[in-house]
Structure formats: structure tokens, C-alpha cells
Structure 1
Amino acid sequence: MITHQRCAEADVALQRLRALPERPRIVVVDNGSTDGTGQMVRTRHPDAVLLRPGANLGAVGRNLGVAVSGTPYVAFCDDDTWYEPGALSAAADLLDAHPTLAVVTARILVEPGGRLDAICEEMARSPLPRPPGLPGHPLLSFLAGVSVVRRSAFEQVGGFHERIWLGGEEELLASDLARAGWHLAYVPEIAAHHRASELRDLHLRRRHGIRNTLWFTWLRRPPFSALRRTGRFLARLPRDRVTALGIGEAVRGLPWVLSERRAVPRDVEAGYRLLDDMQLGTGTRDYSS
């Protein structure tokens, strides 16, 4: 679990995780909180491993958690998500049974109420060809807060990139997993819950989402596809200050992008082309705030 400045919510999430029948080893990465989160974990959840890097590392905090996990599979969890009883063992069974499967993403039940998250409906409509024998619906990205990953695959590709920080951080990692021959799947039989925290900066989240989407597009898509996707993506964005800031950050990162650019192979790009029309024509990617 990564957490930042959400002491009360992290406490509730940890209570739910500790109640799971699988009794998972819990690693909490406190990303520079100053609201007493670290002390809460030490006193109320002393069996959890607490890491305090001293700064908000964003998604890179998960890299630290994976490094100390000591298990072949790691379930990522945010401080506003939790897994259904039995979900972790079911995901581990799938990873055991399918050695090329790197990521299992769960069905998301939005709380309160338990309604199905719209992103799940999109994942279930994945137009990607399903590799023979693999479970669920094939993906080329995933949702980190409700996914179980194979540690060896995660570490092979270097984990989450520090430049991306947070906000769509999964896309670049997933691309590198696919390049390395790993598979990712949405498996709706495995369930997790998400009660979106009210303690979030929606404008900052949108700004980083815009920046990171552009960076990923320029880093991994071939020239024509990158140009086409950039144009279609920008056309969807609201014309406001947050959008301008996100685009500005992306443009300022161009020297780094060009030095790190590595277009995906043809088979992976073919998958992205299948996804583009669906993803850019759906309301699940709403860049308003």
C-alpha cells in the first residue's frame, strides 16, 4: 500500500486487509505524510512493514514495497482500495497456472453501493486477441490499486518510472512488460473495492494525467501513431489552465523523452491501434476536474 496524508483512510484500509482470510504480509509505504500516518501504522498495525522514504515518491513508492516483499506475487493496494476475501488467493492461483501472466487486474466495485466501475466495462470489451489458455480479458495497461503482479516480471522491467511519478503511471510499465513477452489480464471473477478519497487534488491529478499520457505516447508509439494519438487526445481536453500546465510540463520533458524513446515492436503497436478508437471514444477517460 502506498499512502500520503490520509491517516484515517489508510487505517480503515489496513483493517480490511488484515481481516482477509489469506493473511497477507502487508507493506505500507508512507510517502512523506505529516499527518501521523506513520505513528498510526506502528501503533495500530504493528504487524505491517512500514517504509518511510521521507518524501512523496508517488508510484515509485510501490517499487520500495516490492523490493522488501519477499514473495513471488505482490498485490498493490491504495489507501482507498481493498480486496474481497479470497481474491488474493484466486489471483495467486492464476499466476501459478499461467507462467507468462504478469498482472491480474480485479473487477472494481465502487463504494458506497458496490456498483461496477465503468472502466471495468471497457476492459471487458478489450478488442485485443486473447492468447490461448490465458484467463480473463487481455490488457495493455492496468489499474495498480487493484492489481496483483508477478514480482519477477515487475523487477525485470524496472518497476514504475520516477519521472512519471503518479497519474496513469501503469501505461509505461505495462508497455515494457508487453515488450518483454509478458501478458496482462482483467479477470472479473476477482474483485476489489474502491471508495475514492475526498482528500485528493483533482487539478494536480488531471495535470499529471495529461502530461503522462503525452509522455507515454511519445516514448513508446511509432511516429505516425504518436502524432495521430496526440492530436486526438489534445482535441478531447478542456481549454483551461490545468490543461495548459499539463501540456507545458510534457513539452518541457521532451529532451528526456527523446533520449529515452523506444518505440514498441509491431505486435504490441498492433494492439495499441486496436485500443485507440475505443479508449479515445469513451467517457471513462474524463480529463475534467
Structure 2
Amino acid sequence: MTRDRWADLQRSLPHHEVPVVLVDNGSGDGTPGLVRRHFPHVDVVELGENLGAAARNVGVDRASTPFVAFADDDSWWAPGALGEAVRLMREHPRLALLAGRVLVGADGRPDPGEAAMAHSPLGTAPDLPGPSVLGFLACGAVVRRDAFLAAGGFDDVVFFMGEEERLALDLAALGWGLAYVDQVVAHHHPSPARDPLARQALIERNRLLTMVMRRPWPVVLGEAGSALRSGPAGRRAVVQCLSRLPRALAARHRLPAEVEVARRRLDEGIPLGV
């Protein structure tokens, strides 16, 4: 998915080795026409409005393949990565989502979240190719299309940034496996954050909204209290939650006990079996 990022697409689209569906979130810079002119092999879908992360659902609907790899307009997959991902998805039929290794910037530094996934306290299930996870980076994920659609894809409550967690929880609730696999590599060259406070507030807002949709009320209230005490970003996050709270409540349902236990293990960093 993309919005007003033609300059990034000029760099990223030539790296893709497989058919590309590009979903445009209401760009005003002429992106759809420019992509059609310079990259005629790309299937461009114009939404005419900004659906946020839910735009990816349109792309997955459009795809006809059993597996779909996500990429942002500023990311791409390393040569051979998707062939390896397909092999692993076929060999592990319970695997709904493969979280790859994401290397950031020209120097290829590991994404900050990679270590947490590589050393997940959930351990490695015998029928999965890597450590079990309950989160991922969308620009470094490959999904089993049918499982993704059955879990509802990305929602419009969170909208964008941190949209991955609710989907991960719902896939696990349906009995699917999610695993981190470090030999499947994606490259991400993000633009510098323009407003760090706003970004942190948005991340925290979306964490709270996801908790409202899926976690027990004591967890939600505890996190909201922590956010209010944490400083300006946390307080802004709580205020920003209020306008989206009715939709989050309408989408609320509790996770199966085993998924909630696994999520608590991640919160507390408790290894499996302890």
C-alpha cells in the first residue's frame, strides 16, 4: 500500500521479483498514473481514499496466490527470500504467518524488534520453522492468504502503525502458527520520523485500542494508567483513544485462554515451561 510516496516507489519497485499488487490510499501526487507509466507490470488499485492498513486487505483479495508477501513503499525482499518463504509455508501447513528478518537502512542494521522475535519466550513449536511470535512487522511478513482472510485481515480501528498485533492474536486464536524465520530477509529504508512525540503517541494509542479489542479489562486499565503516568506521549495517546473507543468496543471479544497466557508470557518475558 502507498500514499503520496512516488519517490520511494521509484527505488523499491525495481527490487520486487514477483507479481506486485499496489494499493493506492488516495494519493494526491499522481502516484497511480506514474506507476502505470513506469512500471506497467504492476497491478495498481486506486482506492480514492485513505483506508490505512486495511488497504492491504484489498491487495490480498486481489491476489490469486496461496501466499502473499507484504511490502511497504519503502521496503523490498532480498533476492531469493520469497522462494524460501514459499518453501517453508508449504512444508509447514499450520504456519499462517512467517515473520522475516528486517534489515533497516543502507547499513542493513537489524530492526529493533528483531531480537525479541528471535528470542521469543514462546519457544519453537515442532511443526513451525522458527520461534513462535504474536507480533510482526508488516513490511517483513508473508501470510497464508486463506488464513489471513479468515482472521479478518487488518482492521480500521487501529488504522495504521501497530496494526499487526490484533491480526497476530486472531490468527493464533484460530489455531494457526506464527513464526520468526531469520533466513527470510526484507530490506526497509524508512523516511526519518518528523515528529517523534506524535509517533510515540500513535504507537501507544494503537496498543491501547488493541488491548480494548482483545485483552482482559485489568490489563487494559493497567496499561492506560501506565500511559497516563508516562509523560506527554502517553497522555496524548489516552486522549486520542477516546474517539475510536466505540469502534474498539464494538469489535471486542476475549482471546482463548491459551492465547492470553502466551501474550502474558511475552509481556513478562517468561520462557515457555516456567
1:84 aligns to 2:83 (yes or no): no
In the superposition, relative to structure 1, how do residues 233 and 245 fare at CA in structure 2: closer, same or farther (>3 Å)? closer
Q: Determine the structure 1 residue equivalent to 2:211.
A: 217
CA–CA distance in 1 between the matches of 2:169 and 2:113?
Answer: 19
1:192 aligns to 2:186 (yes or no): yes
Give the letter aligned to residue 12 of structure 2. Answer: A
Give the letter aligned to residue 168 of structure 2. Answer: A
Q: Determine the structure 1 residue equivalent to 2:38.
A: 44
Q: Determine the structure 1 residue equivalent to 2:268.
A: 277
CA–CA distance in 2 between the matches of 1:67 and 1:200?
Answer: 33
In the superposition, relative to structure 1, how do residues 272 and 233 fare at CA in structure 2: closer, same or farther (>3 Å)? farther
Q: Determine the structure 2 residue equivalent to 1:254.
A: 245
CA–CA distance in 1 between the matches of 2:83 and 2:178?
Answer: 17
Aligned with residue 60 of structure 2, among 66, 85, 89: 66
Aligned length, in residue pairs: 270
Q: Determine the structure 2 residue equivalent to 1:267.
A: 258
Q: Determine the structure 1 residue equivalent to 2:139.
A: 145
CA–CA distance in 1 between the matches of 2:197 and 2:245?
Answer: 22
Per-residue deviation, 1:26: 0.4
Per-residue deviation, 1:112: 1.3
Contact residue 6 and residue 199 of structure 1 kept, 8 A? no
In the superposition, relative to structure 1, how do residues 37 and 149 fare at CA in structure 2: closer, same or farther (>3 Å)? same
Contact residue 217 and residue 230 of structure 1 kept, 8 A? no
Per-residue deviation, 1:69: 0.7
CA–CA distance in 1 between the matches of 2:182 and 2:59?
Answer: 26
Contact residue 11 and residue 40 of structure 1 kept, 8 A? no
Within 5 A, what are the aligned runs for 1:1-289? 2-17=1-16, 20=17, 24-198=18-192, 202-235=196-229, 237=230, 239-240=231-232, 242-278=233-269
How large is the RMSD of aligned CA atoms in angstroms? 1.9
Deviations 1:162-218 (A, max 9, x none): 122101001111111111011111100111111112486655543332221101112
CA–CA distance in 1 between the matches of 2:202 and 2:112?
Answer: 21
Q: Specify the SS of the correspondent of 1:106.
A: strand
Contact residue 108 and residue 117 of structure 1 kept, 8 A? yes
- Structure 1 vs Structure 2: percent identity of aligned residues? 42
In the superposition, relative to structure 1, how do residues 119 and 197 fare at CA in structure 2: closer, same or farther (>3 Å)? same
Deviations 1:141-166 (A, max 9, x none): 11111110000001101111112210
Contact residue 108 and residue 116 of structure 1 kept, 8 A? yes
Relative to the length of structure 1, the TM-score reads 0.87
CA–CA distance in 1 between the matches of 2:118 and 2:215?
Answer: 24
CA–CA distance in 1 between the matches of 2:193 and 2:241?
Answer: 25
CA–CA distance in 2 between the matches of 1:127 and 1:51?
Answer: 40
CA–CA distance in 1 between the matches of 2:195 and 2:23?
Answer: 20
Contact residue 103 and residue 188 of structure 2 kept, 8 A? yes
Q: Specify the SS of the correspondent of 1:253.
A: helix
CA–CA distance in 1 between the matches of 2:90 and 2:194?
Answer: 36
CA–CA distance in 1 between the matches of 2:186 and 2:85?
Answer: 12
Give the letter aligned to residue 188 of structure 1. Answer: D
Q: Specify the SS of the correspondent of 1:141.
A: coil
In the superposition, relative to structure 1, how do residues 94 and 234 fare at CA in structure 2: closer, same or farther (>3 Å)? farther
CA–CA distance in 2 between the matches of 1:43 and 1:229?
Answer: 48
Greater CA deviation, 114-123 or 86-95?
A: 114-123
For structure 2, list consecutive stretches of 5 or more residues without a partner in the other structure. Answer: none
Q: Specify the SS of the correspondent of 2:158.
A: coil
